[in-house]
Homo-oligomer: A and B are copies of this chain.
Amino acid sequence: MKATYREVKADILCRITKGQWAPGSLIPNEVELAESYGCARATVNRAMRELADDGLIERRRKAGTRVRASPVRQARFDIPLVRSEIEDKGAEYRYSLVSRAIDEAPGWLRARLQLGADAQALHLVCMHYANGDPFQHEDRWINLEVLPQARDADFTQTGPNEWLVATIPFSTAEISFSAALADKELADCLACEAGAPVFTIERATWFEGDANTFVRLTYRPGHRMTTRY
């Protein structure tokens, strides 16, 4: 009795996993549960809301709450700065600038970021090392129309990622994961063979409607992103 919302949540979860409340079936309403747990309705509400957020149950006004027929599995990944990713493993982080150039944004980039016809972009290629071993290759474009100060920033000592995090408070992003082949240049940087399969993350970010940067991060062969739920 006098259960906390955590206890209520755990108990409901338990009943679902044990099969007591089968997939698709209706769960008692909040008032009934509050009575049976001896707590306030708000407490049950919070427990149920979190379960709904976790994708385990489905709630609809008037229709009540049901156990999801096929639970929506959600994987949640943290996308840290490379520096933290490496240092958290206890490895030593090193950064290096491979190349820097200012150019008109190529067509595919203009399309992807919805840029104007003659948009100027800063193109950086960088490498991130863990204990001296190639860890991640970074191919970055920065929109100079929106971030003209990037032109004068020094990217020889620290990566553009850290500069951007400090410069842009927050932004929305589109992120995608895929597999690619290492071409000759990438293979040289990552110290692997050309034709090796590599895991890549692409991310485009916008701030107040304007695209400010696009980056393709390529990990050394064999890299995995792992999570639990």
Contact A180 B197 (CB under 8 A): yes
Whether A156 is near chain B, meaning CB under 8 Å from some CB there, is: no
Contact B75 A76 (CB under 8 A): yes
Q: Which 10 A-B pairs have the closest CB atoms?
A: A179-B179, A73-B79, A176-B226, A179-B199, A179-B197, A17-B170, A197-B197, A178-B224, A19-B169, A177-B225
Whether A152 is near chain B, meaning CB under 8 Å from some CB there, is: no
Q: Which residue on B lies nearest to A177, using beta carbons?
A: B225
Residues of B within 8 A of A227 (CB): 174-176
- Chain A interfacial positions (CB closer than 8 Å to B): 13, 16-19, 22-23, 55-56, 70-81, 84, 162, 165-166, 169-181, 195-200, 207-208, 221-229
- How far does the alpha carbon of A87 sit from the alpha carbon of B77 in the complex, in Å? 26
Contact B224 A177 (CB under 8 A): yes
Residues of B within 8 A of A223 (CB): 178-179
- How far does the alpha carbon of A221 sit from the alpha carbon of B181 in the complex, in Å? 11
Give min CB distance, A98 to chain B, whole Å: 22
Oligomeric state, in copies: 2
- How far does the alpha carbon of A228 sit from the alpha carbon of B17 in the complex, in Å? 30
- How far does the alpha carbon of A76 sit from the alpha carbon of B177 in the complex, in Å? 12
Contact A169 B75 (CB under 8 A): no
Q: Given A75-B79, A172-B228, A197-B197, 14 other A-B contacts at CB below 8 A?
A: A13-B170, A19-B169, A70-B80, A72-B79, A74-B77, A75-B76, A76-B77, A173-B228, A175-B226, A176-B224, A176-B225, A178-B179, A178-B225, A179-B198
Contact B179 A75 (CB under 8 A): no
- How far does the alpha carbon of A173 sit from the alpha carbon of B54 in the complex, in Å? 14
- How far does the alpha carbon of A19 sit from the alpha carbon of B208 in the complex, in Å? 12
Contacts A22-B169, A171-B17, A225-B177 known; A80 to B71 CB distance under 8 Å? no
Give min CB distance, A24 to chain B, whole Å: 10
From the candidates B78, B81, B177, B181, name the one contacting A199 in the complex (CB within 8 A).
Answer: B177
From the candidates B74, B170, B200, name the one contacting A76 in the complex (CB within 8 A).
Answer: B74
Interface centre among A70, A178, A227 (most CB of B within 10 A): A178
- How far does the alpha carbon of A207 sit from the alpha carbon of B19 in the complex, in Å? 12
